[in-house]
Chains A and B, each alone.
Chain A
Amino acid sequence: MTWGLQSASVRFGQTPALTDVTFLLEPSTVTVVVGGDGAGKSTCLRALVGLVALSTGEARRPGRRQIGYVPATGGVYPDLTVDENLAFSGGVYGERGATLLDKSSATLERFGLVDAHSRLGGHLSGGMQRKLALGMALLHQPALLVLDEPTTGIDPLSRSEMWRIISRAAAGGAAVIVTTTYVDEAQRASSVLLLEQGRVIAQGSPSSIVGAIGGTLGVAHSATRPAGLSWRWGRAWRVWAPSGPLPDGVEPLQPEFEDAVVIASMADRRGEQLDV
């Protein structure tokens, strides 16, 4: 079964929050939504799960029993223990007795929370809270897993572990959609949705987005900003020439995914779109 949005638009009063967004989520795949602050990432997910009304378009989602959702704000009860959080989450989906206990134990094991099982949710570290929230969302083995910035604010090691768990959920058959502000995380996805001001500016696999970059990319090792379209990259400058040759002194470079994201954004501002 395929889920997603079809030509979906959302308005908050007079302000468009999403404009004509379309994406499909296949089972056993991970789709990452990338964009800056206010790009519409969370709105996109909230529209998918039904938390915001579409002004036009269509949302395709499974029944609520088949959705696992973790909002950006947390999703863990700070005044319940880890065990109690899991018991509540399972109970909401009709899990009872021995089955619930087995699933809770398995979740504690899988998420490395065994030693913390009796600690209050509010006393866990940020990373552990996010893991618990993910565990709660996965306890009922949903067909659609929707995660809003699950890795924001946690250390690189925990991020890596979170992605291992997300990948396993997808391997288990779930269609997973994740928002992130970390561009490097998008490379783990089978599909990427690049949003800017509520619009899709690029969509496809990470490699296809990189491959769709037009023009020429280069690097300049200079202290001052080179002419043309450029941005800081460590101590050097990345330079993009949409058409024609690179400026003098700029060495050509094979683009990476992060370059593709920046170029897609620049192209969008120039009124162009990547042909993915």
Chain B
Amino acid sequence: MWAMIVKEYRQLRRDRRTLAMMIVLPVLLLVIFGYAARFNVSTISTVVVGPQAEQVAAQLQAPFHVVEIDPGGDRSVAALRLKDGRAVVAVVTGRSSVLFLMDGTQLFPVETAESALGRMVQRAKASGITPPPLTVQILYNPKLITSWVLVPGLAGLILVFIGTLITSLGVVRERQAGTLEQLAVTPLRPWDVIAGKITPYLLVAAVDLVVIVAVGMILFHVPFIGSVATFALGAALFLLVTLGMGVLVSTVSQNQGQAIQLAFMVMLPQILLSGLIFPISSMAAGVRWISYILPLTYFIDISRGVMLKGAPISALWEPLLLLSVLAVVVLGLAMLRFRRDLAPSTRRSRTSITTHEQLAA
């Protein structure tokens, strides 16, 4: 048995990536759970519109964080702010009443807002002040059904799984079989190889997405009230990023075990930090920035926006633009690394390469 232990230890010592994962992952989990995994919401972005907007905004206390005051605005302006994701709560003030519109796609912030509102009213009454009649209206997910919020995000998560893990395994399998080396000597350009590798996965993932959304709609009665084209555009951009990440993972993995480990490292932050489970607004600022470089964060904005809120493309330009930037960056990096793998001899200037075409010229 001793020989077995020694052998295993030596193998583990040389497998730096596994060792790093065994040490880094618990630290990563601790940081994520410690700073990011919080259900309690301390800040709720709020807009206040209507003739009494200034006065009402002045009375709002934490967790309400007023990001916009528009005395000339009305209910439609308030609803628009919720639809484009600029605020979770929109307060519409009238001459004698106040309407609180809340974005039902944000479960925890809405629950926090409701209870904070209740406390504010109680405090006012205790001080002998009679508050104006308050009406709360939850939009997009009035019953705050969890599955309505989770299904659009889960669709993205499944695409991350297919895009990153399955694609990286496909490329690494080619490298392990020695066929990638052979492809490097064929007329195929690196871009042809990447496009050829990811296109089937893109199609499978697209079919998968349709099935997931359909199942969500049929089993969980999740609404789909927005534009299919906008959703498809967001999904296509998101898939390009995840597939690019898969290729990127494959370029730094020598075998399928390493690819699985790395893909897991890429997927874990997306599960925990994208806003799928924990609200981004409740994460510590030091960790929150990670959320903003994760593609799933933006896909969740788009899928929830389109499916639950019916958000038009104009309201989603920001996540769509950021996904496009991520797609360009990730695919560009994947391309560069893949090119290095496939055509190393073209990288050094001192080397002279004479091909038949050059000689003929």
Contacts and interface: CB of A to CB of B under 8 A. Distances in A.
B216 to A, nearest CB: 33
A53 interface: yes
A70 B185 CA distance: 10
Given A67-B185, A71-B178, A61 B344 contact: no
Nearest to A69: B185
B180 to A, nearest CB: 9
B356 A63 contact: yes
B351 interface: yes
Nearest to B192: A92
12 contacts: A50-B353, A53-B348, A56-B351, A62-B356, A63-B357, A64-B186, A70-B182, A71-B182, A73-B177, A76-B179, A93-B187, A143-B356
Interface residues of A, number: 36
Contact of A57 (B178, B187, B188, B351): B351
A185 B16 CA distance: 41
A118 interface: no
A65 B188 CA distance: 9
B356 A53 contact: no
Nearest to A137: B182
Contacts of A52: 344-345
B174 to A, nearest CB: 9
B210 interface: no
B359 interface: yes
Contacts of A69: 182, 185
Given A52-B345, A74-B177, A92-B187, A61 B353 contact: yes
Interface of B: 177-179, 181-188, 343-348, 350-357, 359
Contacts of B186: 64, 92-93
Given A54-B348, A55-B348, A75-B178, 4 more contacts: A59-B345, A65-B187, A75-B179, A146-B185
A215 to B, nearest CB: 39
Nearest to B352: A58
Contacts of A77: 177, 179
Contacts of B178: 71-75
A53 B347 CA distance: 7
Interface in A23-77: 47, 49-67, 69-77
A59 B352 contact: yes
Contacts of A92: 183, 186-188
B344 A53 contact: yes
A67 B184 CA distance: 11
A188 B184 CA distance: 29
Nearest to B185: A69
Nearest to B357: A63
Contacts of B182: 69-71, 75
A67 B353 CA distance: 14
A56 B350 CA distance: 6
Contacts of A63: 187, 355-357
A59 B353 CA distance: 5
A62 B358 CA distance: 9
A157 interface: no
A151 B345 CA distance: 27
Contacts of B357: 63
A133 to B, nearest CB: 8
Contacts of A47: 345
A44 to B, nearest CB: 13
A78 B182 CA distance: 14
Contacts of A223: none
B82 to A, nearest CB: 50
Nearest to B182: A75
B169 to A, nearest CB: 13
Contacts of B352: 54, 57-59
B181 A54 contact: no
Contacts of B184: 50-51
Contacts of A53: 344-345, 347-348, 351
Q: Which 4 A-B pairs have the closest CB atoms?
A: A73-B178, A62-B356, A50-B345, A54-B351
